[in-house]
A and B are shown apart, each in its own frame.
Chain A
Amino acid sequence: MTILMAIESSCDETACAVVKDGCEILSSIVSSQINVHTLYGGVVPEVASRIHVENISTVVCEALQQAKVTMDDIDAIAYTQGPGLIGSLHVGVQAAKAIAWAYHKPLVPVNHMTGHIYANRFVTELQWPLMALVISGGHTELVWMENDWDFKVIGTTRDDAIGEAYDKVARVLGLGYPGGPKIDKIAREGKPHYTLPTPKTASPYDFSFSGLKSAVLQMIQREEKKDETINVADAAYCFQETALQSMVKKTMAAVAEYRPAMLVLAGGVAANSRLRVLMEEAMKEYPEVKLVIPPLSCCTDNAAMIGAAGYVAYKHGLFGGFDAAADPALLMPGEE
């Protein structure tokens, strides 16, 4: 049995978790859930290092308490080294190093993106080769894994992340924040009333959402000029269909080419209900490929996923030193 403490502070959240054997969550504490004095109900991100510093001790103590373990039970400390916002990352890195030093525990640096992928370990055993579609407010990536802990990014966004496009389109449509669930919900009442351009990229597995975002904005302005009000549900529907179908199509092209045993979704946007339907539909063509769509609790930023990925890194003996620093532009393991 291996028990890891995991620390994540790559952007908005300060989080700590205790994870057993990389697949069982003993505790998972995220600061936004316990922070009662968050202004505007969490809309404004708490990214300042000072705020992470205030949160970190609380989440670490809470994680130990809820897991009903002491530091004696912990085998190693996993932490997010990057990518993310430099100041936020620093706090988690320093906390992990301080705890590891004080309690003589090995350190396991983890890439945030690998955490999103390995979060699926809380749902099922992973099978190789594996294709992962990591989609969130900050990421849109297709990652090919020939084997366990073997990463190759085959596609990425050229401009905006998918979750960011959702948030921004929701804002111009007056739907508010967070944009993902709001668009997903109202789009159910929408009709294919508008036509939006399909995103184009040079590489078949790359993504682009900036042009689509601009097209929605221009469409609204055109309607305003004609003194017509835009039908929000229809606009949300058309944006969502265009964005998701383009993403599903590229993912299917990758599945057809690489032939994985498993396709996993990861990141906050994986919770989108329409995406789930489209993915399941498209994957009927590949019955031999297992599709894994994690529940929302596994999708958003948390420390448990760092514990899941950290466990695999730990088993591979990938320990970090006390001289390791936060890396805001950290590449995936093996990437150049």
Chain B
Amino acid sequence: MKYLEVCTQNLEQTHALGEKIGSAARKNMVFLLDGDLGAGKTTLTQGIAKGLGIRRNVTSPTFTILKIYQGRMPLYHIDAYRLEGTVQDLGFEELMEDEGLTVIEWAEYVSWLIPEEYMKVTITLLEEDSRRFVFEAHGEQYEELLEVIA
């Protein structure tokens, strides 16, 4: 398994990092974002959306659990935060088989959704606006993506 560590100093750099991922991402890719409340999961997703050519502003999907955006491919932004301690069939597997990019926050609460190959991104809040991103590539296409991000 290949790793990559990237640090950003501010919101703009986090957006730029996400944009790079969004621009290079291929169809059906799945990203699991792991990090504390306020770590920057939604911020990174805003960048990914921009890289996918999505013009609408990406906001937190915590309440509705899933938000869908249309770009050069659809972005399925899933937030399982409110699903802790529950097992519910929400039909998300079908979506993920579609030709879009899926970002899952709090994936541990929907572990059955995690496919064999994926990119795990662990985000740590360092101080104020600086963040550390550790990318963990599970699968060949994700390892290739690491080279683009680096």
Contacts and interface: CB of A to CB of B under 8 A. Distances in A.
Contacts of A45: 65, 82-83, 86
Contacts of B39: 214
Interface string B124-136: 0101100000000
Contacts of B59: 156-161
Given A85-B65, A328-B66, A40 B85 contact: yes
Given A45-B82, A171-B37, A87 B90 contact: yes
A164 B63 contact: yes
A164 B62 contact: yes
A138 B127 CA distance: 28
A44 B83 contact: yes
Interface in A30-56: 39-40, 44-51
A99 to B, nearest CB: 23
Interface in A196-213: 210, 213
Given A50-B89, A214-B125, A217-B38, A329 B60 contact: no
Contact of B68 (A48, A171, A328): A328
Interface in B100-115: none
Interface string A79-90: 000011111000
Contacts of B83: 44-45, 47
B85 A213 contact: no
B87 to A, nearest CB: 9
B104 to A, nearest CB: 15
A123 interface: no
Interface residues of A, number: 39
A44 B64 contact: no
Q: Is the interface of B mostly helix, strand, loop or mixed?
A: loop
Contacts of A218: 38, 125, 127-128
Interface string B27-68: 000000000111100110000000000001101101111111
Nearest to B92: A87
A84 B64 contact: yes
B36 A217 contact: yes
Nearest to A222: B127
Most A CB atoms within 10 A — which of B57, B63, B64, B68?
Answer: B64
B81 to A, nearest CB: 8
Contact of A83 (B37, B64, B125): B64
A329 B38 contact: no
A278 interface: no
A172 interface: yes
Contacts of A307: none
B38 A138 contact: no
Contacts of A164: 60, 62-63
Interface in A159-202: 159-161, 163-164, 168, 171-172
B86 A11 contact: no
A93 B42 CA distance: 30
Given A44-B85, A159-B59, A160-B59, A210 B42 contact: yes
A320 interface: no
B18 to A, nearest CB: 14
Contacts of B125: 214, 217-218
A44 B86 contact: yes
A213 B37 CA distance: 8
A329 B86 contact: no
A137 interface: yes
B60 A210 contact: yes
Interface of B: 36-39, 42-43, 56-57, 59-60, 62-69, 82-86, 88-91, 125, 127-128
30 contacts: A10-B64, A11-B63, A11-B64, A40-B85, A44-B82, A45-B86, A47-B88, A48-B88, A49-B89, A49-B90, A85-B65, A87-B90, A138-B64, A156-B57, A156-B59, A158-B59, A159-B59, A160-B60, A161-B60, A161-B63, A172-B37, A210-B42, A210-B43, A213-B38, A214-B39, A214-B125, A215-B38, A217-B37, A329-B56, A329-B68
Those 3 A-B pairs whose CB atoms lie nearest each other, nearest first:
A214-B38, A138-B63, A48-B88
Given A47-B90, A164-B60, 8 more contacts: A44-B86, A85-B65, A137-B62, A159-B42, A213-B37, A328-B64, A328-B66, A328-B68
